[in-house]
Every structure is written in C-alpha cells, then in structure tokens.
Amino acid sequence: MELYNKLSKKDRIKLIEKAGEKRFTLSFYKYELIKNLEIFRNFLFVQFNSIDVLGRIYIANEGINAQLSLAAKNIDLLKKILDEISFLKNVRLNIAIEHDNQSFLKLKIKIRDKIVADGLGNDEYDLKNNGIHVNAREFNKLLNDKNTIAIDMRNHYESEIGHFEGAYLPNVDTFRESLPIINKKYSKYKKDKKILMYCTGGIRCEKASSYLMQNGYENVFQLDGGIIEYTRQVKYEKIQNKFIGRNFVFDNRLSERISDKIISKCHQCGNKCDEHVNCNNEACHLLFIQCEKCRFRYNGCCSSDCKDIFQLPVDVQKQLRKGKKNSNKIFKKGRFKQKLFK
C-alpha cells in the first residue's frame, strides 16, 4: 500500500501533460479534534491518491488545512470522500478563480502540532467563540462604515501585491507576530469599533477573531471563505470588487489576479510589477517580486552573486549547497538587500 509520494516533479508533469485534462485548484479547512493522527493521515493519503489528488495537506489535533489540485472530472469523487468523513461532510471547497494544471506536483500529507502556527496557548482563544462570518456584500457594507477597522491578517509579502482598500496591513513576516501587534494597536477600540478581519481562505481569521474576543473585543467580524470566496461571489453575483491587485496563494501559481491595478514594484528596479518568483539559485530560493526586464538581466535570480552561482554546472551548485539549509529569509519578500530601487 502506497502511503507516500514516489514520483519526481518531472515525472508528474509528464503524466499531467499526457492526461491532457483540466485540473481544479482548491482548498478547504476545518477545526476539529482529531485524535488518531497517523491513522487519519494514512487513510487520507490512500483515498486522495486513488483519485489523483496532488497538494499540501496539514493535519493536527486541532483539525485539517488542505490545498490541492485534481482533475475536474474527479471533483464529485473528492466530495464523496470528504462527505464520508463525519466532520468534513459538506465542508466548503474554496475553488480558485485561475487554474494551472501544475499548481501542485506532489501529494504531501503532513502531521503538525497546529494547522496554523499562531504562537498562542490553548487558553488564549476558544474556537467555539469567534467573529461573525460575513459574505462579500456584507463585507463591502462594513468596509464602507466609518466605524469599521479593517485588518489584513496576512503577512506583509502577501498584502504587498494586493489588499482591500483602506485596510490596516501589519508589517509582519508570520501570522503569530500579527496577533499581539493588533491587540496592542486597537485595544482602546474594544467596545466602540467594528473589527473586520480577512485572510486568504478564512483559516487565520478563525483564530484571530477568537483571540480578539478572548481579549474583550465585542464587535468582531470575519470574511467568510476569505479573499478566495469573496472573489467568487464578486464574479458570479456581480458585486462591486473592493480588492485591489493580486491575491497571493501558496502553490506554484503564487498569486491570482483579482483586479487590473498593480500596486507593488519590482524589488530590483522599482518598475511596476506584482509577479513573485523564486530565485533560480536553489541555495537561495528567495521568493521576491521581479519584472521581466530584471528576470532577463539576472537570469531569474535575486542578485548578481546568485546569478553567477546559477550559471555554474549543476553538480558544482549541488556541492556548494551540500549540508546547508535554506533559512526563513526565503519568505521575507521585500526585506532583502537587493531592493536596488530604494
């Protein structure tokens, strides 16, 4: 019985191209007590692998967080599998607006301490008591209310390329950093302001809104389904779009365009750009914003030094990075020294 991915990315790409089928990219999450994690993990792998699901799934005692892709024809089979798991019956699937058959190339199901790293103790939030969930129309109405404080619960590199008009954008690298900063900044508005939160798919707001309510905030709201579901409602229900730019996503696509407006700049020359790339030097792999001109100039790398390494023979590159691990700087987009335009 196969319980782990055994195909390389190149082999998977060949299979996807040979199949020639449209694939959906989607996500879902659910906070629920899961006791037998290894058994559940292996069960999911067998079930998902049987219908050619690819993606990144995290499970923990507190629940499941899944981002995946599968052939469009298998969407009903996926729903059937999920519906047969009691706590996932009728779980909402956040289906992407833009699709890429290669958004995921492996199936990885990992056991984690938490499905969202929050840095909180169990007594600092209660997921049975969180913010009021609002749809796109309700969100827009609250956003227009002068008594509302809108907060982006994502990291700075996500909001850099796109966010809602007028929202507060915490200048943080991780979700866990944002919670105490927000609580300190808005503590004087616990009773007389409406706190409106949003994130990519809703999972971070579940904890964030619960954390604020645990700290005495009385009027807390959260965008149900996050930016992904908001975009779907805007498109199909002809609702005014209040999101500007692109929505950062955690798969090979890196983002989805929500509006035509470009609000960010190339980190190397300063020209308008909102396309994230990974540095081609695998020893660096920094994720940053790069325009086509700089991509050609630096050969897809973040610096001249990385460009020089990338031009070396592959075996030499491997030798240079042997025994070394990429650090968290990979995700500190916009904070690295190659922002030459500054």
Handedness of CA 103, 108, 112, 114 (dihedral sign): positive
Contact yes or no for 49/6 (Cβ under 8 A): no
pLDDT of 81-94, one tens digit each?
999 999 999 999 99
Q: Which class for 35: exposed (0-12), middle (13-18), buried (19 or more C-beta within 10 A)? A: exposed
Closest CA to 210 of 92, 150, 123: 123
pLDDT of 25-78, one tens digit each?
999 999 999 999 999 999 999 999 999 999 999 999 999 999 999 999 999 999
- For 197-225, what is the mean pLDDT? 96
pLDDT of 133-144, one tens digit each?
999 999 999 999
Fold of 122-231: Oxidized Rhodanese; domain 1 (3.40.250)
Catalytic residues: 199
The strand pair at 23-31 and 94-95 is best described as: antiparallel
Provide the pLDDT for residue 328: 53
Handedness of CA 32, 208, 153, 60 (dihedral sign): negative
Question: Do the domains 9-111 and 122-231 sit in the same CATH topology, yes or no?
Answer: no
Neighbours of 224 (CB within 10 A): 20
pTM value is 0.90
Tell me the CATH number for domain 9-111. Answer: 3.30.70.100
Interior/surface letters 12-33, b for 16+ CB within 10 angstroms, e for the rest: beeebeeeeeebbbbbbbbbee
Q: Confidence band (pLDDT; 50, 70, 90) for 101?
A: very high
Mean pLDDT of the chain: 92
Q: For the chain, which residues make up each domain, given as ranges?
A: 9-111, 122-231, 276-331
In whole angstroms, what is the distance from residue 163 CA to residue 293 CA?
Answer: 26
Q: Has residue 235 got a pLDDT over 80?
A: yes
